[in-house]
Amino acid sequence: MIQRIQSLFLALASLLSLLLLRGSYLTFSENTGTVIKVVFAGIIRDSAGLEPQIVEPLYLYSTLLILIPLISLIALFLYKNRKFQLWLVLSLIVFVILLLALSVYYYSLIVETYGASVKPGFMMLIPVILLVFPVLAYRGIKKDDEMVKSYDRLR
């Protein structure tokens, strides 16, 4: 299982996606000093001196943040069933693309609604990096599947 490079890619994808569950993923600041964050629970507005409040819960976003590490871990341990593993990794790629699309949507929504400017950070790059690992894992699984099929033809 760990000897295969795609297992390493799936493990890295699950670790990176677990990082998205903690902390703020997108952080914005308004002219008034208010900080707006996109976190697992939703969009949080943190005004100076006041308690942070959830402006909008993000159910689809939260669901994706739970599904992505779960699917990558399941696919990691299904190394004996390559067809199902290929299907899971392909669905993982679709979910990560959907997460990226939602991130762009929430980015434009917050900038348009609140007139806030984004604070760049490392967490913004995680979904882009996260997309690379399932794609590489898919290529590795596909290559293994083709190699096994070629050996079956030789028998």
Decide if 70 is inside a domain: yes
Token digits of residue 35: 């900080």
Share of the chain above pLDDT 90, in %: 37
Q: Find all residues with CB under 8 Å of 63, minimum gap 6, and list them.
A: none
- Report the pLDDT value the prediction gives residue 3, as an integer from 0 to 100: 55
Decide if 155 is inside a domain: no
Q: For residue 126, how many other CB atoms are within 10 A of its CB? A: 17
Token digits of residue 144: 């293994």
Decide if 149 is inside a domain: no
CATH code, domain carrying 98: 1.20.140
Decide if 152 is inside a domain: no
pLDDT (tens digit, 9 = 90+) per residue, 49-86?
Answer: 778 888 888 899 999 999 999 999 999 888 888 889 99
Question: Which residues span the domain enclosing 57?
Answer: 5-143
**Whole-prediction pTM:** 0.88
Q: How many domains does the chain have?
A: 1
State yes or no: pLDDT of 123 exceeds 50. Answer: yes
